[in-house]
Amino acid sequence: MKYKSCHLIEHGISINVDSVQACCLSREFNKGMLPILEKYENNKINWDEIFEIKRRHRKHQKTLDLKFCEGCYNLREEDWDDEDYISYINFDHWSQCNSNCIYCGVQRNKPKQKNNILPAIKELIKLGKFKNNGEITFQGGEPTILKEFESLLKLFIKAGSRVRIHSSGILFSRAIYDGLKKGAVTVVISPDSADKETYKKIKRTDKSNKVWDNIKHYRKILNSDNELNLKVKYIIIPGINDTFEEVSEFLNKIKQFDIKSIIVDIEYTYANRNINNISPHVYMLMDYIEKFAKENNIEHALYDSALYAQQQRKYEDIKEINSNNIEEIKKQNADKNIKYC
Ligand code: SF4
Ligand code: SF4
């Protein structure tokens, strides 16, 4: 039946420390993450209950839109199936990390870890209720220090799933390396800067060299079939890494390391607070990166807050920005009183 829904309402779960939601998207357009199970414990998830709630959500979606999801850019009209299965899983059930990013919402809000999720996932697969046509994501916390990480990764690679991992990149992971080699894993690393001092300000650790070394190491085993599976991210953080010089240095490193895929985001507390008033300068940086990517045949994507900001964009006056005309554009902006954040 055709109706407005999203793949996560239909077949997705996001597993938190002791609760389960449909997704991990919490924005001003929704009322927080769509809850499924308020609580799970002792490493057990009641899958029958999950599917019952999902059927209820689906029914509601067919008639009235779920208020939680109203306005979400993921909603689309489609002929959704009515089957009970899970094909999108986001792991978000631990918060330990080897970085300490200034924008991290994870460690401030969450207990470290209460449940080992491996037995529940094994059960889901055994029940025949897992389909490999979606995507597995690790959000956390840092996956490479999660004790069940390697076992989970092997399980999903064996099941033929696509796996996307967000890693600080501080630790080199054999499991990620092997997954990349097979083309089963996509890893996203967000150094946010090529400059050691800026990195230190953002991450509050001194591991810039280590991270870029690991990026280089992962890049080496990729070929033209799987080179897009290594994604390097730049989160624009107003006041910290938002100069053209910073961004240019990062892009030079991308070129030097022959990275073929970049992701851009905007620091989410800034984006949430200013969603209708994002600085034109931030949009300029986004356009600058996009242009660089196009010129260098690099895949370019926006993450969550940046995507949302683009949708709210009013300022369109940004066309051709490159390393030769940055100074000129800065001057024009100063003349127009466009402030650098
Ligand atoms: S908030 Fe958006 S992404 Fe999350 S379940 Fe609702 S529609 Fe899907
Ligand atoms: S790498 Fe991720 S989880 Fe770790 S501190 Fe940074 S934002 Fe938080």
* Within a domain: 229: yes
Query: What DSSP string runs through 261-319?
Result: EEEEEE-HHHHHHTTTS--HHHHHHHHHHHHHHHHTT-EEEE-HHHHHHHHT-------
Q: Residues 6 or more apart from 1 whose CB is under 8 A from it?
A: 62, 79, 80, 82
Question: Mind listing the pLDDT tens digit for each residue in 151-163?
Answer: 999 999 999 999 9
The number of folded domains in the chain is 1
Residue 50 lies in a domain: yes
Between the CA of 96 and the centroid of ligand 1 the distance, in Å, is: 26
**Distance from residue 170's CA to the centre of ligand 2 (Å):** 11
pLDDT bin (cut points 50, 70, 90) of residue 341 is very low
Distance 21 CA to ligand 1 centre (A): 10
Residue 34 lies in a domain: yes
Q: Is residue 25 part of a domain?
A: yes
C-alpha of residue 124 to centroid of ligand 1, in Å: 22
Summarised one tens digit per residue, pLDDT across range 167-207 is 999 999 999 999 999 999 999 999 999 999 999 999 999 99
Instruction: Indicate whether 295 belongs to any domain.
Output: yes
Q: Is 112 in the pocket of ligand 2 (CB under 6 A)?
A: no
In which domain, by residue range, is 272 found?
2-335
Instruction: Give the tens place of pLDDT for each residue, 10-21.
Output: 999 999 999 999
- Structural domain includes residue 261: yes
Instruction: Tell which atom from ligand 2 comes closest to the C-alpha of 141.
Output: 3
- Asked if residue 340 belongs to a domain, the reply is no
Residue 74 lies in a domain: yes
Residue nearest to atom 6 of ligand 2 (CA): 101
The closest ligand to the CA of 6 turns out to be: 1
User: Which ligand 2 atom is the nearest neighbour of the CA of 140?
Assistant: 3
CATH number at residue 205: 3.20.20.70
227, 198 Cβ separation under 8 angstroms: no
Q: How far is the CA of 69 from the centre of ligand 1 (A)?
A: 5
Q: pLDDT at residue 28 above 70?
A: no
Does the Cβ of 101 fall within 6 Å of ligand 2? yes
C-alpha closest to that of 248 among 289, 297, 202: 289
The answer to whether 21 and 33 are in contact (CB under 8 A) is yes
Residue 75 Cα: closest atom of ligand 1: 7
Q: In the chain, what percentage of residues exceed pLDDT 90?
A: 72
Q: Structure pTM?
A: 0.83
